[in-house]
């Protein structure tokens, strides 16, 4: 089995597992644990530890602004990341998220980013776009970039 077939079967496994009763539903606490692990790697060097709550809140707000069908896609993605079999098969992350190392998470993001499967690249893109929207929309992210914020009109 080559790498592409392996990933293809992993996706099929994930869909099966997800469809077999582990219904897609928001599990806010465990989803937050996943995002609390991914966020500092996605935004390494920019997101300070004491801004984690702002980042997680920003992520929730960004998801809430999507259409119901896209919110469903995001929930499905979070489900695949949450369930241990698909976390292992699809993301290649062996330990639970809160124990996974920075390098393991960076390797997972890199695999998805350059995956031969457009679906995994789009999942990376979704995590990346939501993370950046959640953080760089926040005034606290701006000083490091030099962005002064919007002009004062009066």
Partner 1 sequence: MTSIYDASRFESDHTFEADVAIVGTGAGGGTAAEILSQHGLRVIMLEEGPYWTAADFKMLERESYPNLYQESAARKTKDKGVNILQGRAVGGSTTVNWTSSFRTPAKTLDYWRERFGLSDYTDAALAPYFEERERRLNVARWAEPPNANNDVLQRGAAALGIPTAIVPRNVKGCWNLGYCGMGCPTNAKQSMLITTIPSALSRGATLVSRVRAERFVLDARGRVASLECLAMDGRGIHPTAHRVTVRARHFIAAAGAIGSPALLLRSALPDPHARVGKRTFLHPTVISAAVMPQTVDAFSGAPQSVYSDHFLYIAPLDGPIGFKLEVPPLHPVLTSTTITAFGLDETRAMASFRNTSAIIALLRDGFHPESEGGMVELQSDGTPLLDYPFTAYVWEGARRALDAMAKIQFAAGARTVFPLHENARPYRSLAHARAAIAAFPMEILRTRVASAHVMGGCAMGADPKRSVVDGDGRHHHVDNVSVFDGSVFPTSIGANPQLSIYGIVARNAQRLASALI
Chain contacts with partner 1 (rule: CB under 8 A): 41-46, 58, 61-62, 64-70, 106, 109, 113-114, 118, 121-122, 125-126, 128-129, 131-133, 135-138, 141-142, 144-147, 150-151, 153
Give the nearest distance from C-beta 105 to partner 1 in angstroms: 9
d(CA 31, CA 75): 9
Does residue 33 sit in helix, strand or coil? helix
Among the listed residues 86, 64, 70, 65, the one whose alpha carbon sits nearest the alpha carbon of residue 19: 86
Q: Which helix (H) or strand (E) holds 102?
A: helix 102-113
Q: How far is the CB of 47 from partner 1 (least distance, A)?
A: 9
CA-to-CA distance for 9 and 14, rounded, in angstroms?
Answer: 8
Nearer to partner 1, 2 or 29 (CB): 2
Q: How far is the CB of 55 from partner 1 (least distance, A)?
A: 13
């Amino acid at each position: 089995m080559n790498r592409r077939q392996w990933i293809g079967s992993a996706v099929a496994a994930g869909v099966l597992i997800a469809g077999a009763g582990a219904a897609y539903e928001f599990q806010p606490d465990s989803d937050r644990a996943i995002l609390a692990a991914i966020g500092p790697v996605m935004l390494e060097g920019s997101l300070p530890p004491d801004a984690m709550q702002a980042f997680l809140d920003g992520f929730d707000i960004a998801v809430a602004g999507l259409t119901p069908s896209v919110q469903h896609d995001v929930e499905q993605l979070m489900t695949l990341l949450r369930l241990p079999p698909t976390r292992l098969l699809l993301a290649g992350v062996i330990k639970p998220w809160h124990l996974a190392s920075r390098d393991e998470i960076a390797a997972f993001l890199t695999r998805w980013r350059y995956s031969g499967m457009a679906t995994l690249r789009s999942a990376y893109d979704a995590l990346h776009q939501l993370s950046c929207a959640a953080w760089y929309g926040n005034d606290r992210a701006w000083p490091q970039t030099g962005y002064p914020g919007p002009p004062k009109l009066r």
